[in-house]
Amino acid sequence: MSLGIQATQLNLLIRADASAQIGTGHIMRCLALAQAWQVEGNEVMFLMGTCAPDLESRLRSEGCAVTHHEELLGSRTDGDRTIALAQDLKTEIVVVDGYHFGAAYQLQLKQAGLRVLFIDDNGHAEHYYSDWVLNQNIYAHAGLYPHKASYTQLLLGTRYALLRKEFWPWRDWQREFAPSPHKILVTLGGSDPNNVTLKVIQALQQLETDTLEVVVVVGASNPHYEKLQGAIKTGKHQIELQSNVINMPELMAWADMAITAGGSTCWELAFMQLPSLVITIAENQIETVKHLHSKGCFLHVGWHENISVNTIARQIYILRRKQEYRHQLSLSARDMINTQGLAHLLKALQTNRI
């Protein structure tokens, strides 16, 4: 995956944040871009306005530098710090990802002479001044961006899905389907502030079936770890709790089905052809989940506040019983993902360099 960029562009600055409230998705999808940028030995630095120690350790283990500021997120002083760091790094391209970054922030970076890749989900900014706007979601369309600069390029849809490097070796892998699935992966986001994971564990414990093998993955920002540890000790099913994992492709390949939230993990599950139940746990997931369900890629359980433990248990029971339906979900989801998404993105950055 070649960038073909000049020496003055070897550094990349990524401005994104993570916390229990913000989640970890912005950082993790930027990590995928960072990994691709590093392929030819290029340097990447993350600038964060929040502290997420475990996640920062993950970034550093991937060879990324991490630094912080204490300014109000998305403010002009935040922009000043970003511009100053970009100048110190002698980089021309800055990646910005977060809902607190709006039109003024983009314009500030542009007026400083930077080229900006803005990773977006829902067209929340009043105007887009960035050189590129990347929206990897299944519902992305140009109508979300009626107010943009004449030079702004839109990179829209799942063909630009940001998959981390641990998924790259799995491009040609094909899933086999168990007639009676008993291995279940539960992954409900990096923070899960409402502890929907507990609801899912309680639903699994209600199932009267042969012993299930369950792996529950929680992120480094999850504040409910101790409560979840207590919950998995009851019931007859084998439930293992794992935190801040780095082997998600292997876990997805191991599982027969998954229970997930409507965030960026959906693209990874689709890539790994894993039939999945999806629970909407945040407002910014509503459009994604609606389209995934309507296109037959995932089975939507509902909005987390409106569904009971019994409802979740019933949907798990239904999906386990329907082998052909699980197979169809898998095929539809896999067809949605273009395995060359990062290559498309890097080409866009490369062909528009200064």
Q: What is the mean pLDDT of residues 132-159?
A: 95
Distance, in Å, from the CA atom of 282 to the CA atom of 17, rounded to the nearest integer, reads 17
Q: Which domain holds residue 40?
A: 7-163+338-351
Q: What is the secondary structure of 142-185 as a DSSP string?
A: GGG-SSB-TTPEEEESGGG----GGGGGGTT------SS--EEE
pLDDT at 83 (0 to 100): 98
pLDDT at 104 (0 to 100): 98
Residues 191 and 155 in one domain: no
Residues 123 and 210 in one domain: no
Q: Which two structure tokens, joined as six digits, stand for 81?
A: 């710090």
Backbone angle region of 233, left / alpha / beta, with phi > 0 → left and psi within -120 to 50 → alpha: alpha
Residues 203 and 301 in one domain: yes
- Report the share of the chain in percent with pLDDT over 90: 74
**pLDDT by residue (tens digit) across 57-99?**
999 999 999 999 999 999 999 999 999 999 999 998 999 999 9
Distance, in Å, from the CA atom of 307 to the CA atom of 199, rounded to the nearest integer, reads 9
Question: What is the CATH classification number for the domain harbouring 332?
Answer: 3.40.50.2000
Residues 289 and 270 in one domain: yes
Q: What is the mean pLDDT of residues 39-51?
A: 91
Identify whether 213 is part of a domain. yes
Identify whether 46 is part of a domain. yes
Distance, in Å, from the CA atom of 192 to the CA atom of 83, rounded to the nearest integer, reads 32
Distance, in Å, from the CA atom of 211 to the CA atom of 202, rounded to the nearest integer, reads 15
Global pTM value: 0.87
pLDDT of 254 > 90? The answer is yes
What's the mean per-residue pLDDT of the chain? 91
CA nearest to 54, candidates 199, 190, 241: 190
Identify whether 1 is part of a domain. no
Q: Which two structure tokens, joined as six digits, stand for 65?
A: 């530098």
Whether 273 and 334 have beta carbons less than 8 Å apart is answered as: yes
pLDDT at 8 (0 to 100): 41
* 291 vs 10 pLDDT, higher one: 291
pLDDT of 207 > 60? The answer is yes
Residues 190 and 146 in one domain: no
Residues 128 and 243 in one domain: no
CA 267, 268, 273: angle at the middle one, nearest 5? 95
pLDDT at 23 (0 to 100): 84
Distance, in Å, from the CA atom of 327 to the CA atom of 257, rounded to the nearest integer, reads 10
In total, how many domains does the chain have? 2
Residues 157 and 176 in one domain: no
Residues 151 and 174 in one domain: no
Q: Which two structure tokens, joined as six digits, stand for 159?
A: 């063909």
Residues 277 and 265 in one domain: yes
Identify whether 120 is part of a domain. yes
pLDDT of 2 > 60? The answer is no
Q: Give 3's pLDDT tier (boundaries 50, 70, 90).
A: very low
Distance, in Å, from the CA atom of 16 to the CA atom of 68, rounded to the nearest integer, reads 10
pLDDT at 35 (0 to 100): 94
Residues 200 and 316 in one domain: yes
Q: Give 298's pLDDT tier (boundaries 50, 70, 90).
A: very high
Residues 108 and 212 in one domain: no
Identify whether 280 is part of a domain. yes
pLDDT of 278 > 90? The answer is yes
**pLDDT by residue (tens digit) across 309-318?**
999 999 999 9
* 346 vs 196 pLDDT, higher one: 196
Residues 185 and 107 in one domain: no
pLDDT at 173 (0 to 100): 93
CA nearest to 47, candidates 8, 18, 91, 16: 16
Q: Residue 20: phi, psi to the nearest 5?
A: -60, -35
